[in-house]
A and B are shown apart, each in its own frame.
Chain A
């Protein structure tokens, strides 16, 4: 498998003692797959993504991508954060180029590659705009372009559309599916939005809370992912099934929290 997460556990030392946030996580992802992890808020989704990104080290277990163990952050694993982490003093073009600049790519090549991906995300006309002149959806598209320019092996997204309004969110869903089909990149996205998970994923991992463990793996087979897909019966079946699972394991977490 392209991404192998073996028996990953993560504990934090806090004032209230040692807490286990992730326990025995096993996830495999094939190259080119679109996978979502869903779970209640506080179930450890971001913590899981941070381990994969290399921003934090697991307490035990191992993560391999393309057979190589993850040791520290790298442009091989692009990441999109929930709250638009663009550099506010750089314009869209400069933001998109920045990864290449850090890696010492020559100015000319930087410019060309960034322009290509700005075109991919449909923001060529805004190359000179500053982030605070853009809408939320546009900011996330810049963040996606900025990650893609580095040509990562996998794109990690932590609730990338969580802060967007419903209409922008839906158009971003279609945008990201289209982008994924064109670029064939492997994507691991995190969400607590059930419809989003069903619409985007090949497979969904359902995470329980306290500690976060993989409770269920769902394979999604949608014939098409156009704008109408959400109205089809099969979509709604998947949605209801996932909703039921989340209710079940989310509630478990709540009970556990009270004890």
Chain B
């Protein structure tokens, strides 16, 4: 009779349980953590850097020209707010992002849906869009200034160029999640192609489109700052660049924090809308 191969796992007296998975709350793969732990960890995520910042500026001897203290930044924010400059800058930047991103999305969404739905349109546009996507939008600045001067137009164009191709290609990808069976079921129920596009594919991809917008809004927000660093009379990017020139580090911090906060709020707003309005797309 052949001998069973020896194994050092065999001895059941010393190893009553061969499971190598120990229970854990923190290290669970693909599982939620308890809501309280979630809040605590999220609090640490924002609170710890703030405490470190405060500690370093209070107990370390660092030149406030390099790193102003949190309280100095708050005072600077109050000063800018009182003069009305902070509001003016924020509105200017928001307006640029709003107008330009709306235009970009309004055009990219139908184009992206068509690309996702028709292999022909995809073959026609995907090579060009794929190429354009890899050209960094700021590299277009000299051209834009040449064509459009230094007014609002080149700033809006910059955001448009920087988001349109990503929007279109990502919307195209969301169409792939519409199952072929669902499209064929629609044909069998008597739907034509236009109806299938408008009444099945489009509603199916709306949550995906909103998520695409949420992600690309972040790039729009970056690009508006880049645009304003170059030439602008107002805007948060302009504020930072002017503050840098006059070594007003506290104002740089105000600018950075406001930019970050607005971005985060927009992101959370999108997430909230998707979660509340599209319950059907959550778990299926």
Q: Residues of A at under 8 Å CB distance from B?
A: 53-55, 72-75, 77-79, 81, 83, 85, 87-89, 98-99, 101-103, 130-132, 146-147, 150
Instruction: Determine if B189 and A146 form an interchain contact, defined as CB atoms under 8 angstroms apart.
Output: yes
Instruction: Determine if B279 and A77 form an interchain contact, defined as CB atoms under 8 angstroms apart.
Output: no
Chain B interface category by residue count: 20 to 34
Q: Nearest B residue to A146 by beta-carbon distance?
A: B189
Instruction: Determine if A79 and B280 form an interchain contact, defined as CB atoms under 8 angstroms apart.
Output: no
Instruction: Determine if A89 and B281 form an interchain contact, defined as CB atoms under 8 angstroms apart.
Output: yes
Q: With both chains docked as a complex, state the minimum distance between the C-beta of B105 and any C-beta of chain A, in angstroms.
A: 21
The 8 closest A-B pairs by CB, nearest first: A99-B189, A75-B190, A73-B187, A102-B191, A85-B181, A132-B284, A85-B185, A89-B280
Q: Does B146 contact A (CB under 8 A)?
A: no
Chain B residues near A79 (CB-CB < 8 A) = 184-185, 188
Alpha-carbon distance between A239 and B195 when the two chains are bound, in angstroms = 45
Say which residue of A54, A89, A102, A130 sits within 8 Å of B189 (CB atoms).
A102
Q: Does B272 contact A (CB under 8 A)?
A: no
- Residues of B162-190 at the interface with A, using a CB-CB cut-off of 8 Å, are 179, 181-182, 184-190
Alpha-carbon distance between A74 and B190 when the two chains are bound, in angstroms = 6
**Segment at the interface with A among B137-145, B151-159, B196-204, B245-253:** B196-204
Chain B residues near A88 (CB-CB < 8 A) = 204, 280-281, 284
Chain A residues near B284 (CB-CB < 8 A) = 88, 131-132
B interface, by DSSP: helix, strand, loop or mixed? Answer: helix
Alpha-carbon distance between A83 and B181 when the two chains are bound, in angstroms = 9
Q: Nearest B residue to A152 by beta-carbon distance?
A: B188
Not counting A53-B188, A89-B278, A89-B281, a sample of 18 additional A-B residue pairs whose C-beta atoms are within 8 angstroms of each other reads A53-B184, A72-B187, A73-B184, A75-B188, A77-B188, A79-B185, A83-B179, A85-B181, A88-B284, A98-B186, A102-B186, A102-B189, A102-B191, A102-B199, A132-B280, A132-B282, A147-B189, A150-B189
